[in-house]
Amino acid sequence: MLDELQTLFFDHSRHKLEVRGFDATLEVLAFKGEEKLSQPFEYTVEFTCAEQDIAVERILGRDASFTLWPVPTQRLNIPGLLEPEVKPLRSVFGVITDFRRLSSSRDEARYEITLQPHLALLGRGKQFRLYQQRSVPEIVEHILRSRHEFRGQDFLFRLARDYPRREQVMQYDESDLAFIARLLAEVGIWYRFSHDERLFIDVVEFNDDQRHYAKPRVKLPCRPSSGLSSSGEDGVWGLQCRHRVVEKHVNFRAYHHREAHAQLDGEIDQSRGALGTYGEAYHYAEAYQVLGDAYAQDEDLQSESGYFYARLRHERYLNERTRLSGLSSYATLTPGQVLEISGEAPQAFEPGAVITHLQLQAARDRSLEVSFEAMPYAERVCFRPPLLTRPTIAGTIPARVSNPDERNCYAEIDLQGRYRVHFLFDREPWPTGQESCWLRLARPYAGDTCGLHLPLIAGTEVAVAFEQGDPDRPYIAHALHDSDRPDHVTLNRRDHSRNVLRTPANNKLRMEDLRGQEHVKLSTEYGGKSQLNLGHLVDAGKQKRGAGFELRTDEWGALRGGKGGVISADVQPRAQGQQLDMDAAITQLESALSLAKSLSTAARNAQTTPSDTESQEQLVQALKGLAQPGVLLHAPAGIGLVSPESLCLASGRESVSIVAAHNTDISAGHDITATAEGAVSVVAQSGELQLKAVHGKVELQALGGSLHTLAQSDIKIESVDGRVVICAPQELVFKCGGTYIRLTDGEIEVGAPGNLYLKTAHVQKFDSASFDTPKTPLPAGYAANYTLSDEVGAARPFSRYRVTTRQGEVFKGVTDKAGNSMNVHTLVPGELEVEFPEVATYDEQLQLTGPEGELISHLKYSITLADGSTHEGVTDEQGYTERLVTSESTQLIQLTLFPPEVVESFCCAAQNTQVPLEMDLRTRDVRTNDTQVGTSVEVVPLPKGKKRKLTFGEIEMAKTVFKDAVDYRKVRVHRGGWWLFFGWQNTAVTPNGEMYYPESTKLYRNDFSVTGKGRDKALFMHEMTHVWQYQLGYPIKKAGLMVTSQGAKAYEYSLSEGRRLSDYNMEQQGEIISDYYMICIELDLEGVWNYKNKNNSPRAFEAVLSDFSYNPADKRNLPR
């Protein structure tokens, strides 16, 4: 070093180097020093020592000091006159980070050490760490204190603004020094070093404003190159200026997925029209989520907003517009000082020069020389450290999905469907489920409340990627299998050709690609393995069990097609056909129709009632191409329809036709009953008609008319083992050819055109006699049908009706095209009551309840039906709506609930109009119906709304007051209002240990601990007070109704001497604790809700809360 310093001899042996714990004398030969804003200083000192080989452990890593002393003054030797105390010009404290032995002679050895601040030691090593819910200053302080044992006197924050807590910050493969420097530079915080000569320590000072430059200003004259005047006064010389064109203005834009439609772009120009600026600097994707106020100044501008970062960017550009430099002999000049130069200095030095960089050097043969670099002082532009390059994570890093509930395999997600993970590099003991911020999951498809979301399983390995490689912008790229959670498709299981989606509950979509065994399986365990199997069907052992398709479940099943359906066993090779290809079935129907028409003609020729082929023809036309909603069932080889229980085949308006090209066989294990309102015709066209009862009698009766038996040939009436009785009350005639026998009026007349032959052994004649047989009684019953008409007498075709008999029997139906009803049969005659749709045939009533069964009373509602009609009203005391009446079964599609009237505002109130609650009822399939008309009720529970757990930051906030008196795991924060159940509006409430923030009040925050508004934190602490009251057993709901009925007065309080927290009501307690937190902990008077409480004394709060603060878990602190 001595060889490098060539100048006039000047003795500097008075400078001192001292190493803690090292007593030998160290003679300074020369030194070089470099100091720079936002960088650790470095002094290289060369010295000699009588010890020839100093042990390294006695020097390296030891605290040391290097002191520059002034030139000794000549003593006056005046009796009684005290010599003035000589103070060092400059003291530098730090730690020795480098030690070298240069050379030696017989008398001494030469050494060299490097002295740096303790902060420089943070540059050794590297870390992979996460920081959550901490601001940049808090992160820096945490690192200094927790990992490097810095004490409060070792560092100092002098910040003009507050900095928000960041959700998550990642330190990735960085030393602590590089990480701290990068964070500080990002938010414009610069640091410098001072030296405490009382404690013999170096102190790092963190600042963010030009008001924090070192004071007072240093004033030095401009001198010639010697640097000294004739009087020996220090000065400056060799002044230089460099000017360069820098960016004129900054444009910026960002995007954040939480506020996808937010306007996050702007422009800023701090040059104030100065010359030497040109061009636009466009910055995209800065790390901000709010834009900020373009017109806010200094600390009024929201920290870490868009305009905040843009101003920092432009300040950095403007820092480079003019750079100053010079030389000086002034030993106490330090970075961060403002230098004022008198004399003939360049104009650029006029506002003052902010020292940003110093280099000092001196030796025994060279005077002290200080070279400096500076920038002009400006009121609106502060020194900002250059941005340091963030680590770029090019690929992904491993993590595991986290979940606070270890009993549940499904990972917890937040209101946006995001997950938390545990990064495998992280060694911090985070609470389970809080190891990271919420991370989005990348998906192949996403849209507005649509997309592909396959829930992640707790403990699953995931690969975390980073937007633009930024460690602070992670997202989950994909999930991976590992040795603990192996893949469910492996070569070992011979599944290599299978494409399988399987959930933990064994919901499965499987697609087998193995040639010759292709199949698709969609299944769920619910309903006894409800499944859709297509193709090559196999069992669990992969053995074939069928082919084709299978749709099965142990629960209910339904096939529904609003425009019709075709069920066919007709083949369509390789799916080469139309969806509604039904030619074979239609041909079959037309053939059946032709046969029916032919046989109908035969029946007409036989003078019997013909078949109703017209309705069959209509059916064929309706089923062709499914022109109308019908179902066509066809199979070339036959259809079996069987059941161990009943079967029903019915047509409500038209005929039922059964046509067979061969036989139609009807068999019954018991009885066969054929009943017709009209005629019954049975015609055997070319064969026999047989009617036999093997073990019973045969009854053939015409109850209301004649009985005609006709045969072209013989008629035989025969009784094998009994008798034949022919009875007639008026006349009985037997006729054959011209011969006859007539029995009438008690006489027998026998007549013949020829002879009468009596072939008998004897003929006897007796007195007159008669023979009576009992009459067979005719069945009783009454029946009639009716033509239904409207008010003007016009027939009502195809109208639904309801007939009720005097005995209470009910007949329902639809009139035919002529307006005729069905025949109504009764045992006895009587009046009938006929009802039409105008008289409530279909109705329904709703009862509205809360999630826990609370009755939704006295709220205005509107119900929209599928026909477009709306029904409005107000729920009664029990939460019932008015009964809805329709002419036909109609679905209820939407329920709208309107909030109650506005109540008086208070601390928790938000001055916003509450929006109605809209519920989609279509998924519930609620309809007006004709069962239990006038009494049926559908209970509709209202939704609970979205909710989340407390964040880590919110828990830390609450613990400053409530400590461990609250079970924070049980607390939920709802993004929805409780006003539905208690009639409150525009307010956040906590009636059951959970917080409710109505959507439209805009009071809800994803994390109240990081909000930039103090009033948000105050509200949160107020509601946390109600959580504390509820968990300690206080009747919040009952007391709340009584207390809040007082309106705003319920929240007013005064801190009186001698009173304790228990002397106040539940809302006053919430206000007191909220105000205490804001005034005494946050030191934010503006965050207090009621401005009247801003001037309350911290001591008064501490007195009232003394018992509570000592033990928040003591129930005696609750309202009396």
Nearest to 360 by CA among 29, 11, 35: 35
Handedness of CA 494, 498, 503, 505 (dihedral sign): negative
What does residue 651 show for φ and ψ, rounded to 5 degrees?
Answer: -125, 130
The one-letter amino acid code at 58 reads: R
Q: Report the C-alpha gap between 190 and 174 in whole angstroms.
A: 19
Residues of the chain with CATH 2.60.40: 842-940
CA torsion through residues 852, 853, 855, 859, sign: positive
- The C-alpha atoms of residue 285 and residue 255 are separated, in whole angstroms, by 6
Q: Identify whether the C-beta of residue 681 lies closer than 8 Å to the C-beta of residue 608.
A: yes
C-beta atoms surrounding 22 within 10 Å: 18
Length of the chain: 1120
Query: How many other CB atoms are found less than 10 A from the CB of residue 380?
Result: 13
- Rg of the chain, C-alpha, whole Å: 51
Q: What residue type is assigned to position 283 of the chain?
A: H
CATH topology classification for 842-940: Immunoglobulin-like (2.60.40)
Cis peptide before 398 (omega within 30 of 0): no
3-state SS, residue 422 = strand
Q: Which amino acid is at 642?
A: V
In the chain, count H helices and then E strands.
13, 52
**What is residue 161's predicted lDDT score, i.e. its pLDDT?**
93
- 1021's enclosing H/E stretch is helix 1014-1031
pLDDT for 914: 53
Separation of alpha carbons 1032 and 1116, rounded Å = 10
State which residues of the chain have pLDDT below 70: 1-13, 72-78, 80-84, 225-232, 778-781, 837-841, 851-852, 900-915, 944-945, 977-987, 1000, 1044-1045
